[in-house]
Structures are given as structure tokens and as C-alpha cells.
């Protein structure tokens, strides 16, 4: 699907979708247990992949007709061997969390995904599984899917790099809680995307599982059970998805009006940093934390410098804001953002350049020269990446003429009703 966006002004209220990161973890946590209800989940292409994995391991996931909640019957801490290959589609989170889970099975589990997912690094997690007494192999021996895991991982102590993916740590902590020995994780390098591990620790605690930071990394005791208080867990709103709505308000709100985003209750999400980033660029952001509402009027933005070591998913949003702002916006510490659904550093540089932006791309840095940029409508490629699609759509709000984003259907990964939300705010768009 292509979506064409005209230069538009926006105002009104809209709601952020539930958090994808929390939904993945909550669904799998419920799977590790006996039975739990997950309320306010994000039901999207990625989270459906995790639901299917839970079912493949012997659990079941029943969706309410309105997707207001999921009833998950788990596999009691010991996944069964699936009848077929587990297809994680395009979901990197599913692949990594399920890899560690599958390594607990007595037999062997085969995991794969689409072309993009089969190009993403899994080697450090496979090595960790081997060190913990399980089996972890890449069928092509290149550290990438398809993967074969199993061998009833016992647990123990393991060293793993922290600068490739925080999802490795999340996967090991979640699986480690139901091993016999537990797992101690030593970080060999600085941890990138650390707030995502904070999310994991928060979800584990909510499901009654104790895990902790240590001087060397993280640890979780074995022999624990997953059971949320009262048998229910509620998913908070997603700040990664919220960033596009907030950015839309900052660059394109009607004069003397604003965009109000609901569902913004505080949590461990690192991407809530978008509020501070917008303020550093000159936006007047009002966050009512108790009500869970953020209000953003249009502002004359100025360039800033942002380290995205802990917030890689914000890079596309920041790049778009930089193209609208006066002066340079520098995104630092971003090499790990190249290993997402696509190389998001190059993708944003190349697609914004099609729209007239002046951009300097380096391996670990992206600089958008807003003072040298006048955005003009163009035909741009969403790169089969939901975050690229949504960021370019925001750029289209202020570009002269029309901007057509190819592959816009990929918003289904994390924000299925994104374009409906944008239209409700007054965006002129058409789907083709």
C-alpha cells in the first residue's frame, strides 16, 4: 500500500497504541506461567508472532473480539517441542525472546523469519545458550536465522556483549527464571538500549519473578513461577509510537491549537525521552502524568544533539524533527540502529535527501542540516520498516506538495491504525 500525504495542519486528541515492547514480554511471561489475562495489549503483526510462538510451545492465546484483552494459558515453565518450524516473520523481539525459550525444550526447536529477520545477528545469544548447557546453532553457520535451539538449558553463568542487542539479556532473564540453576549474566561490553532491560525487569516483577542488576550485569534465580497479581497484567501506552504523534504536533499543529496524545502514563520506557528531546528543540510540551496526557503545540524548532545509545527507535523521529528544525541536529552513538528491520541510519539519510534534506551520514552519527533544508514532497521508500514509514509520513506534513510513502502497510507491525489517527487529527491523505 502507498499513502500520499499533503502538506497539512493538525489538531485534536488521539491515543497512542499499547506498548509493543511490553506486550511481547507480557504475552511470553504469561506463556511461561499457567494462566493469565493480558489487558490492553497491542495486537499487531509483531506481537501476533509472539502469540503464535506461545501456542507452538503448547500454550494457547485467546483474543477478545475487540482485542481489549488476551487470555493466555501457558506451558508451565517448560515449552514443548513445536510440531512445525516457528516463524517469527519480521519480529526481532519475538525471534530473540523465543530463541532462549526454545532452548529450554527437551528436543529441538527450529526458528526462522522473513528476509529481513534472517539477516539480523543472533550469534551472541546462540553462543550464550551453548555456554549454559543447551544447543544453539545457525543452520547457515553465520549467526543468523534459521536457528536450531533446544537441549533443556540448565542455566549457570554466561558472558555476553551488551552492545549488539539488549534483547539477548531480556531473553536470558525471562528463560533463566524457570531453569534449575538460574542465570548470571556478565556484560562483556557496555549495554546499549538499557531501558529495554528495565522494561523487562519491570514486567518480570509484575509477574512475580525476581531479577536484579549486579556489579557485572544481571542475575535471575531459577525455579521461579510466573504469576501476575490477581491473574492480570495491563499493558501501558507505547512511547515509541507516541513519538510520531508528538512530532506531528510540534511541526504541524494549527496556530493557537495543539495535539493531545492520550495513554502516556509513566513507565520504564526509555523512549519517553522524546518529551525531553522535543523540549530541548524548543517545543512547549505539557505532560499530565496522572491523566496520562501530553499536549504539544507547533513550535519553531532548533537543532540539538541526541545520544540514542539507549533509545534507538527514536532515531527516525529525531531525524525528521531535525529536517524541520533550524540548524544542525546530530544523532550520536547510533551504529546499533543499523541492525533493525533495516539500516535505519542510511534509510533516513537517503529518504530525507529525496525530500530535499541536507544530511551527513557517518558510521555512528547522523547529522541533519535543518538550516540548509527545505522539504519538498517526493516519492519515498518505507523500506518495509514501520518506523521509517511513520517518520516519513510526519515529514510529509510540512513538505511542499505531496509525499507518497511506499510500503505504508508496514505500520501494522506496531501501530496498525496510525494513518487513521493521523487523519483524525486533520491530515490530508489517501491510500492507494
- The answer to whether residues 410 and 389 touch, using CB atoms and an 8 Å cutoff, is yes
Task: Please tell me the chain's helix, strand, coil percentages from 3-state DSSP, rounded to the nearest 5.
Answer: 35, 25, 40
**pLDDT at position 53:** 98
Radius of gyration from C-alpha coordinates of the chain: 21
Sheet holding 232-234, edge to edge: 60-63, 69-73, 35-39, 232-234
Q: Is 426 annotated as a binding residue?
A: no
Strands 86-87, 108-112: pairing kind: parallel
Low-confidence ranges of the chain (pLDDT < 70): none
Q: Is 344 annotated as a binding residue?
A: yes
**pLDDT at position 352:** 98
**pLDDT at position 404:** 98
Catalytic residue, chosen from 310, 313, 328, 385, is 313
pTM of the model: 0.84
Strands 135-138, 60-63: pairing kind: unpaired
Q: Is 127 annotated as a binding residue?
A: no
Sheet holding 183-187, edge to edge: 156-160, 183-187, 217-220, 211-213
- The answer to whether residues 334 and 364 touch, using CB atoms and an 8 Å cutoff, is yes
Does the active-site annotation cover 257? no
Q: Is 269 annotated as a binding residue?
A: no
By CB atoms closer than 10 A (0-12, 13-18, 19+), residue 98 is: buried
Domains of the chain by range and CATH?
A: 3-17+237-431 (3.65.10.10), 20-222 (3.65.10.10)
**pLDDT at position 192:** 87
**pLDDT at position 137:** 97
Amino acid at each position: 500500500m502507498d499513502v500520499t500525504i499533503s502538506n497539512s495542519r493538525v489538531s485534536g486528541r488521539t491515543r497512542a497504541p499499547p506498548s509493543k515492547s511490553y506486550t511481547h514480554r507480557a504475552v511470553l511471561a504469561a506463556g511461561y506461567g499457567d494462566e493469565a489475562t493480558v489487558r490492553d495489549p497491542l495486537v499487531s503483526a509483531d506481537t501476533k508472532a509472539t502469540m503464535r510462538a506461545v501456542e507452538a510451545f503448547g500454550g494457547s492465546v485467546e483474543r477478545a473480539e475487540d482485542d481489549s484483552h488476551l487470555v493466555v494459558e501457558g506451558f508451565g515453565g517448560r515449552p514443548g517441542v513445536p510440531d512445525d518450524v516457528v516463524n517469527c516473520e519480521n519480529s526481532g523481539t519475538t525471534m530473540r525472546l523465543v530463541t532462549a525459550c526454545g532452548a529450554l525444550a527437551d528436543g529441538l526447536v527450529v526458528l526462522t523469519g522473513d528476509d529481513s529477520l534472517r539477516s539480523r545477528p543472533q550469534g551472541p545469544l546462540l553462543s550464550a545458550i551453548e555456554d549454559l548447557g543447551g544447543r544453539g546453532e545457525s543452520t547457515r553457520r553465520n549467526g543468523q536465522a534459521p536457528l536450531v535451539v533446544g537441549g533443556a538449558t540448565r542455566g549457570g553463568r554466561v558472558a555476553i556483549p551488551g552492545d549488539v542487542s539488549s534483547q539477548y539479556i531480556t531473553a536470558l532473564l525471562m528463560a533463566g527464571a524457570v531453569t534449575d540453576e538460574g542465570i548470571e549474566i556478565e556484560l562483556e561490553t557496555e549495554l546499549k538500549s538499557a531501558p529495554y532491560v528495565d522494561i523487562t525487569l519491570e514486567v518480570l516483577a509484575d509477574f512475580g519473578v525476581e531479577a536484579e542488576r549486579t556489579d557485572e550485569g544481571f542475575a535471575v534465580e531459577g525455579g521461579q513461577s510466573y504469576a501476575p497479581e490477581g491473574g492480570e497484567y495491563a499493558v501501558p501506552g507505547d512511547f515509541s509510537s507516541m513519538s510520531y504523534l508528538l512530532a506531528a504536533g510540534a511541526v504541524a499543529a494549527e496556530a493557537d491549537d495543539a495535539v493531545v496524545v492520550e495513554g502516556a502514563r509513566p513507565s520504564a520506557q526509555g523512549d519517553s525521552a522524546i518529551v525531553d528531546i522535543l523540549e530541548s528543540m524548543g517545543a512547549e510540551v505539557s505532560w499530565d502524568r496522572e491523566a496520562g496526557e501530553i499536549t504539544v503545540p507547533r513550535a519553531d524548532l532548533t537543532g540539538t544533539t541526541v545520544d540514542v545509545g539507549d533509545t534507538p527507535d527514536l532515531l527516525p523521529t529525531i531525524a525528521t524533527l531535525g529536517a524541520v528544525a533550524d540548524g544542525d541536529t546530530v544523532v550520536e552513538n547510533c551504529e546499533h540502529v543499523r541492525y533493525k528491520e533495516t539500516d535505519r541510519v542510511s534509510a533516513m539519510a537517503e529518504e530525507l535527501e529525496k525530500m530535499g534534506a541536507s544530511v551527513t551520514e557517518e558510521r555512528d552519527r547522523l547529522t541533519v542540516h535543518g538550516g540548509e533544508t527545505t522539504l519538498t514532497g517526493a516519492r519515498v521508500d518505507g523500506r518495509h520498516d514501520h518506523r521509517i514509514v511513520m517518520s516519513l509520513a510526519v515529514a510529509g506534513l510540512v513538505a511542499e506538495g505531496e509525499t507518497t510513502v511506499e510500503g505504508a502497510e508496514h505500520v501494522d507491525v506496531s501501530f496498525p491504525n496510525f494513518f487513521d489517527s493521523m487523519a483524525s487529527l486533520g491530515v490530508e491523505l489517501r491510500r492507494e
